[in-house]
Amino acid sequence: MYYKLTMPHTTSKGIRTKRVDVRPKASKRKEKAKADNLKLSIQDIRVTKTLKSEIKERSIGGIGQELVIKKSSEEIILRSLKKKMKAIEDLLAKQKDGHILDSQQLLKIDTLDTILADIEKYCK
């Protein structure tokens, strides 16, 4: 609820709305905060690192959407295997077009069987 009051410090002497507020003045709030800080012990002030296991998962999106940001380790491994698979497919396409591949690229192509086996293992 707002009351219309004439504020004496205004130059136009116009009517301004003043918020009816029950909180104390800023100086009183600062004094109280300072007193509260003096009451804290060293254990309260000390900054400690939060363990990864204690960090809560955040949800993204609007109302009704519960999408979790963190992924399981299996999903992360599967994603990396798919990236490796795509890289090998690109190398095979280059080789098919007639490009000469390095020894490292040929070694990467040789790992195709193990990557396929790992993908099958994690997809189950």
* Structure token digits, residue 48: 């400690």
How far is the C-alpha of 100 from the C-alpha of 103, rounded, in Å? 10
52 token code pair = 């990864």
Contacts (Cβ under 8 Å, ≥6 apart) of 53: none
The structural domains of the chain, with segments of one domain joined by +, span 73-123
In terms of pTM, does the model score above 0.85? no
Tens digit of each residue's pLDDT (9 = 90 or more) over 47-100: 777 777 777 766 565 555 555 556 788 888 999 999 999 999 999 999 999 999
Task: State the pLDDT at residue 112.
Answer: 92
- Cα radius of gyration rounded to whole Å, the chain: 32
3-state helix, strand, coil in the chain (%, to 5): 55, 10, 35
pLDDT computed for residue 88 by the predictor: 95
Q: Spell 63-84 as b/e; 16+ CB within 10 A means b.
A: eeeeeeeeeeeeeeebeebeeb
